[in-house]
Structure 1
Amino acid sequence: MNYSTPSLRVALYARYSSDLQQQSSIEDQLRLCRAYAAREGWEVVAEFSDAATSGASLMRPGIKQLQGATEMGAFDVVLTEALDRLSRNQADIARLHQTLNFHDVQIVTLSEGAVNEMHIGLKGTMNAMLLKDLGEKTHRGLSGRILKGKSAGGISYGYRPDREVLGDGTLSTGDLRIEAGEADIIRRIFHDYAEGHSPREIAARLNRQNVPGPKRGQGCGNWNPSTINGNVKRGTGVLNNELYIGRRVWNRQHFIKDPATGKRQARMNPPEQWITVDVPELQIVDQDLWEAVKARQESVREALNPTGARNTRRRTEEARRPTYLLSGLLRCAECGASYTLINKTRYGCAASRNKGDAVCTNRTTIRRDAVEERVLSGLRHRLLTPELVEVYVAEYKSAYKEVTDTAGATRKAATTALAGIEKKIAGLMAAIEDGLYTPMMKEKLLDLEQRKLEQQQILEAAELAPTPPMTPEVAERFKTQVNNLTTTLNDPDLKTRSTEALRGLISSVRMEPDGSAPGGHRMLLEGDLAGILACGSAQMTKPPRFAGAWSETLVAGAGFEPATFRL
């Protein structure tokens, strides 16, 4: 590629990290890149950027937009300040370079010039080492702050930053002070729990009284039982925060990034790596009240687990599959929260139950089996319309034609190959009869016999295509499969696969409280009807090539678009 060619289209990319730079850095990087492009006579056709984002991952909006535009052929060159602006991860930068190279797009940086494989290898290694070194230095620096009695980041509910003007005119960092109003709420939570109130009751009462809760990101600050109860081992939740008794515990856990999703996952550190520092000036809860809460937590755990068998909690990525057909799909029409099982048999609004009437007043419940039966009945009713029967018949015949056409081509290819193999075998046999036998000929003959057997098997399979069905037979098959939905979902051998397939076709079921409706609810089902018929077939595994399980192979056609209807 000739980089002095004036017609080259260039895309600019800039990024800054929140801990190292500031917002103006984006414009500074783009300004320098524009000047470089102008000197080269390139046309700037696009600009991408990521603000306050780490370079340790490609899970960034700007870089994703750049990759999408690359696939569209929008530019010839990506120009950035330095290679580490694109990524500091060695594997990511190598993959990005490979992708851009595949689309004939070159990376050029102000620091390295035109980037090649050598830059990727050396610079990628250096950036990976830099990331690791930064992490170790950051961890070392934070541990030093903790040992001095200062905060290492993050402010718990009940505290505010306490900053003073230093001699050089800057503000101090890492010091906290108690927020009196929030401290009263914390003590109240501890007292209520120690007296026997559940976290759900406490959260509902606080929400009812419009007491602002801890805000997380863009959260509304409502109280939730998990906010109060948290996780004892991880020290999360109001009732487990040791800072409230004047003890700061740091380095309980570390985070590791999932390479598939770019999301961080917490891992517990061994207790010997924890750093504990007394900070009595930050104590909010007295020791006796703390011990009373710990004693009640332990009694609750024993009551829930009388045998004492404590299984390690599974990691998030190892979570089990949904227990029931509609688990996780039901939504409250009034507040948007999930409908969850409030006991063994009934669904209800989770927000109303856990956060109280201040968040949602919907207290209506409904039996699980009634919800599932209405959903399946609604699907059966909708699918048995004459219009959908016609669509199914048309799709069935189309699928049949495609398969038979493929079978014909397969038979022809196998027949030709078989004839060629038999001709070679005959030639070898003739040579052996003429006395020209060698050890190599035996090996060749065995190979040809194996290839002959394989082609014969392919030919036999291709002959299994069934007789073309008549239209009435197809329509009857459609009705049978629709009516078999419930039976299939209750078959122990097929339940798991059938349930997963059907769940994939239902986006959500909105539960609207209505005293005049069955079960006190009207339901609005949203989802894609394509493929539902496969759930009604007893043959859930992928069938042999021409064995006749045609509903398994049908794709969505007209009339199978995403649907929304009331049940």
Structure 2
Amino acid sequence: MLNDESDWVITEIPELRIVEDELWHAVRQRQGALKSRDTGVPVWDRRRPKFLFSGLMVCGCCGGGFSKVSQDSFGCSASRKKGLAICSNRQVISKAHLEGAVLTALEHHLMDPDAVAAFCEAYTAERNRLRASATAGRAGVEKELAQVSRDHSKLVDAIVAGVPAEQVKDRMITLDARRTELQRQLDRIPAEDPVRYHPSMARTYRNRVGALIRGLGDAEGMEAAKEAVRSLVDRIVLTPAPDGGPLTIDLQGAIAALLCLATGRPLSEVARTAKAKKASGGSHETFDNIEELVLVAGGRNSRSLRSGSNNAKTSAAGPAEVSQLSLVAGARNQRYLRLVERQIPKLAA
């Protein structure tokens, strides 16, 4: 029979640890990231994906998911399980081609320097517009606070010079109260926020994505690389071509994770950013929340990522080629950043 818990004597003996403390905390942190409660993510979405892009493929016809339909191919699940009345998309895409096309797009087409430059300019302009009203009164408050501080200092100098303190006491109390109030106002008004993103991050992004892709072939670092690569993808839309050709691949990047990777953040933070966005449901309403933006490779123009081996536009760098990049603000409202859209067409030339 055990003694009452209040009578227990617990003593730490670090030298008897089986695993090092640093490793223990790293494992606990990883377990916390994978825990099944209160994450906002369904249970089936927390299982380790069987394939690189499992759960990220979407049918462009019905919006349902793509799943494995043969040894090495994916197809629309709804069409096969519920019939043609639900979805007419019976085309398939090979695992090797899909992964090759998406990895090529991630490494060579997303985060193009010109696209990043246009994004930075448009994002900064929009953020400044949204913050203008909030920061409009800050300069006036700062100016008055500086004047009040100077007046207070003059009274202190007067007392030092011999003026009786009783003569300036009431004025000093008033100035102290006003200074406190002005400081409170300043604390409530956001300060000017410097731009956090720079076009040079495109180079960092490509270098790190290249390293991640190489890591997919490394047994030791494969799972970490796989998780990081998946975090860069919001979804992959697979749509039959109007002319009856092979499936068109529309890769939609997770802009928050892309920018985390491009700005040199640790891979754990890249993955955590993507998970946080997914758990929140993307409910943010302003450009100040960068998760609200979707970076799209492909889209509305004629050239696209093709799934057929006979595609004439297949590039030497990989099995696919991206025609256009566009930045879409707010997946719900589909408002386009016009500045970016004017900058992007030259990338397809």
Q: Could you say whether these structures have the same fold, taking a TM-score greater than 0.5 normalized by the shorter chain as the test?
A: no
Which structure is larger by alpha-carbon Rg, 1 or 2? 1
Q: State the TM-score, normalizing by the size of structure 2.
A: 0.38
Higher relative contact order (CA 8 A, sep 6+): 2
Q: State the TM-score, normalizing by the size of structure 1.
A: 0.26
